[in-house]
Amino acid sequence: MHLKKLSFIWACLATLAWASETPSPFFPGETSSYEVSFLGISMADAQVMVGATMQHEKQRVWPVILVGKTRPLQPYQINDRLVSYWNPETKISTGLDLFIDENKKRRRDKITFNRQQNTAFVVRQNEGESAKSATYDIGPETVDLAAASLLLRHQPLEVGKTFEIPVFTGKKTFMLKANVTEKQRIQTRLGEKEAFLILARPEFDGNLAAKRDIRLFLSADGRHVPLLIEADLVLGRLVAEIVRYEPGKAPR
């Protein structure tokens, strides 16, 4: 299992109403750290960081970086990194880079969105092999996995609302539906927090298929920070729990 699919748990929830007029819930410098456990055993650490403003595909973007690394002595070693290029003005991503390093096997995937032609250009290269590329047709509202959660964080969440978005995985597009089911107080490593519970069902196959809805808890304040993610997969129960949070600052 590599980070591209595991990152789905907090990165594939979104909404059609992404052009929200609400202020941005995150800014460059924001850092969220998570402890990831599988079958009740703490196995990995993950961080989500919003980088400084940069240029990507001739647009000003914030690189949103997701890093996942297994703990020492784990039988299957993972050290992966995903970067989604988020345009804070259009509230949509311009592309994604994925760097996979698992058990001495390395691969890089690159996705570039062409919003004028409604296509996604994908380049995939295993270490030591020639790169392979393909172009896929997408809808104008399609986003990558990481950008999906950023879209959701922008929304005025309310109990009873349902959101849906087409998500491009690098090979196919699927329609994700997410339901805001309740607001409750939960205990976290950062103390007791009020949070919205959102349920969603992914469309991954095989061992990564979800046996029931994934449970995502977003903080009920204006930042909508992912606090806790619970997923019951065919392989077993996977949980990501926030352990540290640092807010960012609006660029001058």
Mean pLDDT for all residues in the chain = 85
pLDDT at 22 over 60: no
pTM, full prediction? 0.85
- Indicate the domain borders of the chain: 3-244
pLDDT tens, residue by residue, 167-218: 898 989 988 788 999 999 999 999 999 999 999 876 654 444 445 688 999 9
CB contact set of 208 (below 8 Å; sequence gap of 6+): 1, 5, 202, 233, 234, 235
Give dist(CA 46, CA 80) in Å, integer: 10
Tell me what pLDDT residue 84 has: 94
CB contact set of 215 (below 8 Å; sequence gap of 6+): 197, 198, 199, 228, 229, 230, 231
pLDDT at 2 over 70: no
**Mean pLDDT for the stretch of residues 17-37:** 78
pLDDT at 4 over 50: no
Task: Please tell me which residue, 52 or 43, carries the higher pLDDT value.
Answer: 52
28, 251 contact by CB (below 8 A): yes
Tell me what pLDDT residue 146 has: 84
Q: Can you name the residues that pair with 188 across neighbouring β-strands?
A: 191
